[in-house]
Chain A
Amino acid sequence: MRERDDDLSQCVEECEIAVTVNGNRHEHTVPVRLLLSDFLRHELHLTGTHVGCEQGVCGCCTVLFNGEAVRACLMFAVQADGMAITTIEGMAGVNSELHPIQQAFREKHGLQCGFCTPGIIMSVHAMLHEHPDPTEEEIRHELSGNLCRCTGYQNIVEAVKLAAERLRLQHMEVE
């Protein structure tokens, strides 16, 4: 379990936090009721993390919290103090080349309007990290936490299959 540095044993309405987002450390003073999703969007101007429902259902606010996919709309910014977060903006490489998952979504037309896409990419990232070689059924099951109103999911599933294949090859080359 990771720990924060400061003492929050007494009740406060505002709090200083230090959060590492996509490798960059940010220090901010935030009201404790600020949602993590709003912190990312309004304070850090990382608007790639989308907000659809703010009740955990749609999945488009999904980010990685210490490497695990979570709903940013169901956490408070203060809870990210001392933690590491990855958003969709942290996926592309240093020269802005797309991440293999993003590239696969582009090639397979895994998006139309793109509203759901950041959350789906982050979820898929976590999924493929845990199961590098998922079956189609596993892919569909793991995607159940992300709603898409446009694509009918078919091309999303195709994109995930392609991304999984390429990531496996990449790992083999590294080893």
Chain B
Amino acid sequence: MKPPRFRYCSPRILDEALVLLDQYGEEIKILAGGQSFVPLLNMRLAAPAYIVDINHISELHYFETEPDYLAIGAIARQRQVERSVLVQEKHPLLVEVIKHIGHMQIRNRGTVVGSIAHADPAAELPALLTCLDGEVLAQSMHGERVIKAKDFFAGYLSTTLEAGELLTEVRFPWLARQAGWSFIEFARRAGDYALVGAMAVLTPALDDTCMSANIAYFGVAGSPIRARAVEQVLIGTQLDAHTLDAAAGAARDVVGEDMQDVHATVEYRRELASELTRRVLKQAWARREQLEGAQ
């Protein structure tokens, strides 16, 4: 249970980190909060020759409001974002989601970007990014690219990030003012990874029918899932009982055939996905802001 030998560096400047990443390619790994990576080292499931610690790159320590999204730099801790009065006010869904990650001791070190990079299918933040159609900024010695959430997560603990690239920022889009949201997860013990989690953002139109719906799940497949089929059921409705039944039924299909493990069977996860769908939809719709002129 001790990490294997490696060589370590901890540059203060992003460019220096990018040079090192370029130089060592597949042999080097990035250390952010270490809350997922160090357990992997301790269990010897990872044994990189080099580790670049990004915790001292102060230019990556920020979160900023942009017109369309909240931008979070690579070493902003989960707890800093959670405690920020600004984020609590402007992105309450993000705060609610972060509160469900592990325990306060984990969030004190764990970074928001690290959780996205780690791409655990049972993690909350990758699902939120998927739900909101967010994006990440990846930088390397050779330039930068913006990657949409749907093109970023590539299965169990995998992303489309390439060797030499560092995620410098993640972007969580704002919700429409009138949108209602809800996030619910089911875990056996407080702070555990959830068996299944669901979230919904529902935006009403002027006539108070559902104009747009963003529904996502985690713990149901190798990557977070955006459930277009469930969303389609809701558009144009007022989420009456019949619609909720149809949505809850459609939600069963988001659970992959292979999601059977010691924690739960596929059938159990389907039941959870279905019930959580009902609950997040009811709550999100109840929280919407009805526009003027709506009956």
Residues of A within 8 A of B (CB): 1, 3-4, 8-13, 15, 31-33, 35, 38, 54-56, 59, 62, 65, 68-71, 73-76, 78-79, 123, 126-127, 140-142, 144-145
Q: Which residues of the other chain, A, contact B8 by a CB distance below 8 angstroms?
A: 8, 11-13, 15, 32-33, 76, 78
The verdict on B189 contacting chain A, using a C-beta distance below 8 Å, is yes
Whether the pair A54, B9 counts as a contact (CB closer than 8 A) is no
Instruction: A123 to B104: give the CA distance in the assembly, Å.
Output: 9
Whether B2 contacts A55 by the Cβ 8 Å rule is no
- Determine how close the nearest CB of chain A comes to the CB of B10; give it in whole angstroms: 4
Q: In the complex, how many residues of chain B place their beta carbon closer than 8 angstroms to a beta carbon of chain A?
A: 39
Interface residues in B1-26 by Cβ distance below 8 A to A read 1-13, 16, 20
Q: Scan B100-126; emit 1 where CB is below 8 A from any A CB, else 0.
A: 001111101100000000000000000
Give chain A's interface secondary structure class: mixed
Known: A32-B7, A144-B191. A55 touches B105 (CB 8 A): no
Sorted nearest first, the 8 A-B pairs with minimum C-beta distance are A145-B103, A32-B8, A11-B7, A144-B190, A55-B39, A8-B10, A74-B38, A144-B191
CB contact under 8 A between A3 and B2, given known A11-B8, A74-B38: no
Q: Are the C-beta atoms of A33 and B105 separated by less than 8 Å?
A: no
Decide yes or no: A74 and B43 within 8 Å by CB, A11-B20, A11-B50, A56-B38 being known contacts. no
Q: Which of B42, B51, B108 lies in contact with A55, CB distance below 8 A?
A: B42
For A35, what are the chain B residues with a Cβ–Cβ distance below 8 Å?
Answer: 2-3, 38, 42
20 CB contacts below 8 A, A to B, read A8-B11, A10-B9, A12-B9, A13-B8, A38-B2, A54-B1, A55-B42, A56-B39, A56-B106, A59-B105, A68-B108, A69-B105, A70-B105, A71-B106, A76-B38, A79-B55, A126-B104, A127-B104, A144-B190, A145-B104
Contacts of A12 on B, CB cut-off 8 Å? 7-9
Q: Which residues of B contact A71 (CB under 8 A)?
A: 35, 105-106, 109
Name the contact of B56 in the complex, choosing from A3, A73, A127, A142 (C-beta under 8 A): A3
The yes or no answer to B34 lying at the interface (CB within 8 A) is yes
Is there an interface contact between B103 and A8, defined as CB atoms closer than 8 Å?
no
Pair B9/A1 contact, Cβ less than 8 Å: no
Give residues 27-48 of B contacting A (CB, 8 Å). 34-35, 38-39, 42-43
**Nearest CB on B from A46, distance (A):** 18
How close is B248's CB to chain A, nearest CB, in angstroms? Answer: 29
